[in-house]
């Protein structure tokens, strides 16, 4: 396939994804009370996706099985865990987790690790291999990796709120990594190919990669993530692909900020409960990220496209990294890092809740302020009236811009017409002033003359018509 065909295919796939997700969303509205139905739908979707995704893998492993009779591979164990979890969702069971780990990890990763170990211990796979995996994962959970189907199913478990661990676990149902609109994005940007015992090749998302996204000890972690997200894990990022994927990225984030999300929900809740669960710093940061997204995205796109593709048709990771840092610095924003920043912020917020509990929080009312600001920003469209967006806000902005332009135009036209008239008017006024002084002078002079005794006699014959002439010229001046 040539790059153009690839982009076209990508667009087609995206569209069908969008259509199917829209369909799911409609069902969500009409059958809000029937959450179970939606879960089954999603589960069915996952199973279908997995079947198409893993066909080549199975063929590969089958091929190797003939020459090597060693029982289960990693992917087969994962498939077994996946179907065990799917059964739990279908049978409406719950999972009671206790912590079997002694390591320090972010809250959501502790629960994920325990969940995977729980799944391994309860699945139908080869006991020997499972025992090896469990002890290795207990020793270091960062060794855990998940296939596409396992990750999707784990995300669905969290969304379905069937995991019982502690009182904060419920917040994970809205956690960015597990959301149905974002888990795919994360998987596609973070997976790598894994060969287990030289037998099967599969796409795996590793706990190490997820952990690095949160810790971000090096800047490259986020640039690499973003590059992989935009290029869809290709070596090069073409301009067309960049424009296509950036637009998708903008739309996803737009939905994220407009609809319910972990931090937003807790801000709203904290106002209702008079500032319980309150954390200024996190709300502030959320507000900053949201504000920067709303205000600078379109400008950033113009600038980035220009800088990225100034001298080249496509970028590799290295060029992309240095250019991203350059544009971010120039524009004093972090548009391309918003997704990792939000993931990190949500994780921090969960840590904050775990550490401080619910009762120890100080009572402050300023969260009202954040809610107000967030609500205000929510209604601001990121496209800011650009032609490509047809939302009410943008239409309104465009209308206002057009009418402002129109009235400006009228003003200018009127001024242009007034211009020559004004000159004439000024000339006339000068003339009038001149005449006025002349008139006054003449009037005084004539009146003085008539006061003279020798002309006093004829004065009455001249005075009346003279006064009339003066009066006439005065009324003329007024025009």
**Does 383 contact Zn ion by CB under 5 A?**
yes
Buried b (16+ CB within 10 A) or exposed e, 233-250: eeebbbebbbebbbebbb
Task: Measure the CA–CA gap between 118 and 112, rounded to whole angstroms.
Answer: 10
Q: Which is nearer to Zn ion, 205 or 389 (CB)?
A: 389
Q: Is 109 helix (H, G, I), strand (E, B) or coil?
A: helix
Q: Which is nearer to Zn ion, 60 or 381 (CB)?
A: 381
Segments in 123-198 forming alpha helices (H): 127-139, 148-159, 183-190
**Does 389 contact Zn ion by CB under 5 A?**
yes
Query: In the bound complex, what is the minimum distance in angstroms from residue 254's beta carbon to Zn ion?
Result: 9
**Does 381 contact Zn ion by CB under 5 A?**
yes
The footprint of Zn ion on this chain (CB under 5 A) covers a number of residues equal to 5
Query: In the bound complex, what is the minimum distance in angstroms from residue 42's beta carbon to Zn ion?
Result: 29
User: Binding segment for Zn ion among 45-53, 235-243, 266-274, 384-392 (CB under 5 A)?
Assistant: 384-392
Are the CB atoms for 63 and 56 separated by under 8 Å?
Answer: no
User: Could you write out the three-class secondary structure of 182-205?
Assistant: CHHHHHHHHCEEEEECCCEEEEEE
Q: Which is nearer to Zn ion, 304 or 382 (CB)?
A: 382
Task: Measure the CA–CA gap between 337 and 292, rounded to whole angstroms.
Answer: 11
Task: Measure the CA–CA gap between 153 and 162, rounded to whole angstroms.
Answer: 12
**Does 293 contact Zn ion by CB under 5 A?**
no
User: Binding segment for Zn ion among 88-96, 129-137, 379-387, 406-414 (CB under 5 A)?
Assistant: 379-387
Give the contact letters, 189-218, x = binds to Zn ion (CB under 5 A), - = no: ------------------------------
Q: Which is nearer to Zn ion, 21 or 251 (CB)?
A: 251
Q: How far is CA 314 from the centre of its chain?
A: 24
Q: Which is nearer to Zn ion, 274 or 402 (CB)?
A: 402
Q: Which is nearer to Zn ion, 80 or 298 (CB)?
A: 298
Query: In the bound complex, what is the minimum distance in angstroms from residue 384's beta carbon to Zn ion?
Result: 8
Cα atoms found within 13 Å of the Cα of residue 303, Cβ hemisphere only: 18
Task: Measure the CA–CA gap between 346 and 460, rounded to whole angstroms.
Answer: 104
Give me the sheet containing 145-147, strands edge to edge. Answer: 145-147, 200-206, 192-196
Q: Is 237 helix (H, G, I), strand (E, B) or coil?
A: strand
Q: Which is nearer to Zn ion, 303 or 393 (CB)?
A: 393
Query: In the bound complex, what is the minimum distance in angstroms from residue 371's beta carbon to Zn ion?
Result: 23
Task: Measure the CA–CA gap between 31 and 38, rounded to whole angstroms.
Answer: 8
Query: In the bound complex, what is the minimum distance in angstroms from residue 255's beta carbon to Zn ion?
Result: 13
Residue selected from 11, 131, 391, 449 as contacting Zn ion according to rule CB under 5 A: 391
User: Binding segment for Zn ion among 162-170, 267-275, 341-349, 383-391 (CB under 5 A)?
Assistant: 383-391
Query: In the bound complex, what is the minimum distance in angstroms from residue 394's beta carbon to Zn ion?
Result: 3
Q: Which is nearer to Zn ion, 325 or 391 (CB)?
A: 391
Q: Which is nearer to Zn ion, 333 or 381 (CB)?
A: 381
User: Could you write out the three-class secondary structure of 344-363?
Assistant: HHHHHHHHHHHHHCCCCCCC
Task: Measure the CA–CA gap between 310 and 313, rounded to whole angstroms.
Answer: 8
User: Binding segment for Zn ion among 114-122, 137-145, 155-163, 390-398 (CB under 5 A)?
Assistant: 390-398
Query: In the bound complex, what is the minimum distance in angstroms from residue 393's beta carbon to Zn ion?
Result: 5
Query: In the bound complex, what is the minimum distance in angstroms from residue 210's beta carbon to Zn ion?
Result: 33
Give the contact letters, 392-431, x = binds to Zn ion (CB under 5 A), - = no: --x-------------------------------------
**Does 253 contact Zn ion by CB under 5 A?**
no
Q: How far is CA 341 from the centre of its chain?
A: 11
Task: Measure the CA–CA gap between 5 and 440, rounded to whole angstroms.
Answer: 91
The residues that touch Zn ion, with contacts defined as CB under 5 A, are 381, 383, 389, 391, 394
């Amino acid at each position: 396939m040539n790059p153009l065909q690839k982009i076209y295919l990508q667009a087609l796939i995206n569209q069908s994804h969008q259509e199917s997700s829209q369909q799911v969303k409609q069902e969500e509205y009409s059958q809000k009370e029937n959450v179970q139905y939606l879960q089954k739908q999603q589960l069915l979707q996952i199973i279908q996706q997995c079947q198409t995704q893993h066909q080549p893998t199975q063929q590969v492993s089958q091929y190797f099985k003939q020459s090597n009779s060693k029982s289960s591979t990693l992917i087969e164990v994962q498939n077994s865990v996946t179907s065990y979890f799917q059964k739990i969702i279908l049978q409406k069971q719950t999972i009671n987790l206790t912590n079997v780990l002694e390591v320090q990890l972010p809250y959501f990763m502790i629960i994920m690790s325990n969940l995977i170990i729980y799944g391994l211990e309860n699945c139908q796979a080869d006991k020997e291999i499972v025992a090896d995996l469990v002890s290795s994962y207990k020793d270091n959970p960062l060794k855990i990796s998940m296939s596409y189907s396992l990750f999707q199913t784990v995300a669905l478990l969290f969304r379905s709120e069937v995991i019982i661990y502690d009182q904060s676990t419920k917040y994970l149902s809205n956690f960015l990594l597990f959301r149905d609109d974002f888990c795919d994005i994360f998987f596609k940007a973070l997976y790598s190919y894994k060969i287990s015992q030289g037998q099967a090749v599969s796409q795996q998302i590793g706990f190490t990669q997820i952990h690095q996204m949160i810790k971000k000890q090096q800047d490259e972690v986020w640039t690499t993530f973003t590059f992989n997200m935009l290029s869809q894990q290709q070596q090069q990022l073409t301009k067309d692909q960049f424009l296509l994927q950036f637009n998708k990225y903008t739309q996803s984030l737009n939905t994220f900020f407009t609809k319910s999300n972990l931090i937003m929900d807790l801000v709203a809740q904290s106002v209702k409960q008079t500032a319980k669960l309150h954390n200024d710093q996190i709300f502030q940061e959320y507000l900053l990220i949201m504000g920067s997204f709303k205000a600078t995205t379109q400008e950033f796109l113009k600038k980035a496209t220009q800088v990225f593709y100034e001298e080249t048709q496509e970028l590799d990771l290295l060029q992309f990294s240095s250019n991203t840092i350059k544009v971010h610095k120039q524009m004093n924003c972090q548009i391309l890092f918003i997704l990792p920043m939000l993931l990190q912020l949500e994780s921090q917020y969960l840590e904050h809740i775990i550490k401080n509990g619910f009762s120890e929080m100080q009572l402050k009312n300023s969260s009202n302020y954040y809610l107000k600001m967030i609500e205000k920003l929510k209604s601001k469209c990121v496209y800011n009236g650009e032609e490509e967006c047809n939302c009410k806000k943008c239409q309104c902005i465009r209308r206002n811009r057009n009418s402002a332009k129109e009235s400006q135009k009228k003003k200018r036209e009127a001024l242009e017409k007034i211009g020559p008239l004004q000159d004439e008017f000024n000339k006339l006024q000068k003339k009038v002033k001149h005449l006025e002084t002349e008139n006054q002078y003449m009037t005084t002079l004539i009146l003085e003359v008539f006061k003279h005794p020798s002309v006093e006699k004829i004065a009455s014959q001249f005075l009346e018509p003279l006064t009339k002439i003066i009066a006439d010229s005065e009324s003329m001046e007024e025009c």
